[in-house]
Copies of this chain bind each other. A is one copy, B any other.
């Protein structure tokens, strides 16, 4: 019960067995990225306009207005400092508040770039870059999200006036969810069912002006507003996710984004010669950023939980001496260190996805579409895997902080609430895994036909070996051999995929089989995605990595990542015969040893993320470890503490106490 007066974190830092500075570069990706990131983070952290510690006490209106203020300040600072696009996007990132700028820069501009003709780009992009217009992206409707082909909004060509009529035929056709739509955007890319000459031609994007550029009032025929509060206090409520109903709103013909499909003056619809697959390039890009974001969010939560676990002491004292740091408990380690390892794993697979995007783009330009389905499946799967794990991990980190993790001042509740929709937007995670599974089954069934699998499915080419191999692990140390680990993961994934393909063929139609076996298919898809992450991590730690002890630490994390998955999915590894129960036990033993090895480095491994206290936004995760005084100071700032006697005492507490309600018993 005596509380440590030592600075636990300084002590922890002195124990590090590697060069933290060098690790920071590895984490950032390069010295250049580190420098930009570091500089932007500090600019935000030192600017009082970007304070965020009052967010969770504000009502909706004040909160939203506060965000508008910050967004304007971002624009102002980016301008004053003459930031490059790279810098400005980092600045926005560290402001750490969902707002219309995200959608303007992240969805509206890319939609025009990706789907607009050159002419359209020349017209709209300058307006958008100067922010003379603010745009958003409206695909989802009240009744349709995942099934884009089911969207109800119509865009009917009227040859008389050379216009499209944008119309919402039903309540369920109202656009619903787009960020920035509710209160801010002047323009939107609306996805609608193209109708011309009485015929339907599929879903395309149309630029529609929503609000007057003079006074911001909605244009005629447009009913528009905010869809209401969302999960958490603060969190995503800073964003005006909106709805809009179009009552036969007319737009010029050339407001349809016509890169892939053109509608002529006469109303003829013709596909352009730009191959439709180009669209997937954008998808690969967007999902790659989501995977990167997962590693940021996860590492942030882990940073808070690791530091606090080193500060927090509970039990284990003899004679009322100093207690045990909860980070020393094996249960705490087994819950926390795999998440630390996952943060690094996702960081590296995210970096690799950047390369994949570049590769795909290059190939597309050379009209080579061969790797596209694989790249598409791979990014869909990794989006699903990393966001699901991250969402759960943030909540686990919160629980790892005990009661105090439940306070907003821990930073974790808001981080969770703002992060979780990543499991849903840009593709519901289960729907995405089913897409991956479909691709895997196809890949497997084509093996027989001698078709060589490419990219991340290359390992499946090794079919015969993967079907019959037995793990050679016979000691805990064997589980530190990359080949032993990889083989187990590849064999498990392949056998699950093969079993699915085989079982599907027993049904009357493949579709019926696919539907009935979708639970197994999702498991096979996850197994495949884990192969990707594990093999990218192993690749990474086999490279030269500068910095004292850096490589060794990453190796430890790499094997923690792999072995904790073997434990988590041991049912699959065992039932497919990839490993034996004895080998599973050896892997667990090795895992426990690795926890011990990472323990003295844990605080330094989260220091390597180089997060400012502003970005962390957590009393528990502070760099200096001054947890308790900060919790107290934050509590005192709660509006409820403005007065000692609360508003409402006279009307609602005193009458209870003074029995003026004449209660007999309750």
Contacts and interface: CB of A to CB of B under 8 A. Distances in A.
A216 B645 CA distance: 6
A478 to B, nearest CB: 18
A65 interface: yes
12 contacts: A64-B640, A68-B648, A76-B663, A215-B645, A216-B645, A216-B654, A218-B644, A225-B641, A330-B518, A395-B420, A399-B429, A575-B581
Interface stretch (A52-60, A255-263, A484-492): A52-60
A314 interface: yes
Given A640-B61, A655-B72, A231 B133 contact: no
B233 A232 contact: yes
A421 B130 CA distance: 47
A228 interface: yes
A133 B654 CA distance: 10
A183 B567 CA distance: 47
B59 A666 contact: no
A662 B399 CA distance: 46
A226 B172 contact: no
Given A131-B656, A519-B592, 16 more contacts: A1-B144, A1-B151, A3-B172, A57-B59, A72-B653, A131-B657, A176-B631, A213-B657, A225-B641, A227-B635, A229-B233, A231-B408, A231-B413, A329-B515, A520-B588, A574-B575
Interface stretch (A13-21, A80-88, A554-562, A604-612): A80-88
A584 interface: yes
A590 B149 CA distance: 35
B408 A424 contact: no
A407 interface: yes
B58 A129 contact: no
A517 to B, nearest CB: 8
A581 B570 CA distance: 12
A228 B68 contact: no
Contact of A64 (B69, B79, B517, B648): B648
Q: Name the prevailing secondary structure of the A interface residues.
A: helix
A666 B88 contact: yes
Interface residues of A, number: 160
A134 to B, nearest CB: 7
A481 interface: no
A186 interface: yes
Sorted nearest first, the 4 A-B pairs with minimum C-beta distance are A570-B571, A59-B59, A231-B413, A79-B663
A439 to B, nearest CB: 16
A57 B233 CA distance: 9
A112 interface: no
Given A226-B640, A645-B216, A653-B216, A632 B330 contact: no
A1 B150 contact: yes
A543 interface: no
A276 interface: no
A131 B666 contact: yes
A656 B331 contact: no
B403 A421 contact: yes
B150 A315 contact: yes
A646 B240 contact: yes
A334 interface: yes
A152 B640 contact: no
Interface string A107-119: 0000000000000
Nearest to A654: B216
A594 to B, nearest CB: 13
A184 interface: yes
A198 interface: no
Contacts of A577: 581
Contacts of A632: 142, 171, 174, 243
A183 B522 contact: no
A75 B653 CA distance: 11
Nearest to A74: B666
A411 B232 CA distance: 12
A405 B145 CA distance: 13
Contacts of A151: 1
Nearest to A629: B171
A188 interface: no
Given A323-B147, A575-B584, A75 B216 contact: no
Contact of A413 (B69, B131, B140, B232): B232
A130 B634 contact: no
Nearest to A215: B645
